[in-house]
């Protein structure tokens, strides 16, 4: 069987496209898992209770809940908050107003700390000694004359 250049290019383009899509989807899934883990650590630290979906029935129900978002529910005249994660921990976290308020405070503190860290890193990069680093990066335009 003989392939023409067009068929070969089409086949290679299809393979490259599929590979690129797979890598992108894997990266997105890893980022989502990392973000979920960060959120779940804050939820636990703020007093939310974790409940595992340890039966097929519980897992089926968990999958019907809104994923990766804190959702308010009314129960027994009070506010309850649910955070579901069927893919990673196969669990959900629940808490009441006090736990939710503590979570919001911790989330704000984390955001401030993240911003401070990013600012510090940017400031540190500002003081790099380009001449010392070599590679023709010192002087006018970092070596781009």
pLDDT, position 10: 73
CB atoms within 10 A of CB 61: 14
Report the side by side order of strands in the sheet with 49-52: 49-52, 91-96, 78-85, 70-75
pLDDT, position 2: 57
pLDDT, position 121: 76
Strands (E), 21-87: 49-52, 70-75, 78-85
- Cα 5 to the center of its chain, rounded Å: 42
| 88 exposure class (CB count in 10 Å sphere: 0-12, 13-18, 19+) | middle
Q: What is the pLDDT along the chain (145 residues), one digit of tens a residue?
A: 555 666 667 766 777 766 666 665 555 656 666 788 899 999 999 999 999 999 999 999 999 999 999 999 999 999 999 999 999 999 999 999 999 999 999 999 988 888 878 877 777 766 666 556 655 555 555 555 4
* Residue 10: CA count within 13 A, CB half-sphere: 5
3-state secondary structure of 76: coil
């Amino acid at each position: 069987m003989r392939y023409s250049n067009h068929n070969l290019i089409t086949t290679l383009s299809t393979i490259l496209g599929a590979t690129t899509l797979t890598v992108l989807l894997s990266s997105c899934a890893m980022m989502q898992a990392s973000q979920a883990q960060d959120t779940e650590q804050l939820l636990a630290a703020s007093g939310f209770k974790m409940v595992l979906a340890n039966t097929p029935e519980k897992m089926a129900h968990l999958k019907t809940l809104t994923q990766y978002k804190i959702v308010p529910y009314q129960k027994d005249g009070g506010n309850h908050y649910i955070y579901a994660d069927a893919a990673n921990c196969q669990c959900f976290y629940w808490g009441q107003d006090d736990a939710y308020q503590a979570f919001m405070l911790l989330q704000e503190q984390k955001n401030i700390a993240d911003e401070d860290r990013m600012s510090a890193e940017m400031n540190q990069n500002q003081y790099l000694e380009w001449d010392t680093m070599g590679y023709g990066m010192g002087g006018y335009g970092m070596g781009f004359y």
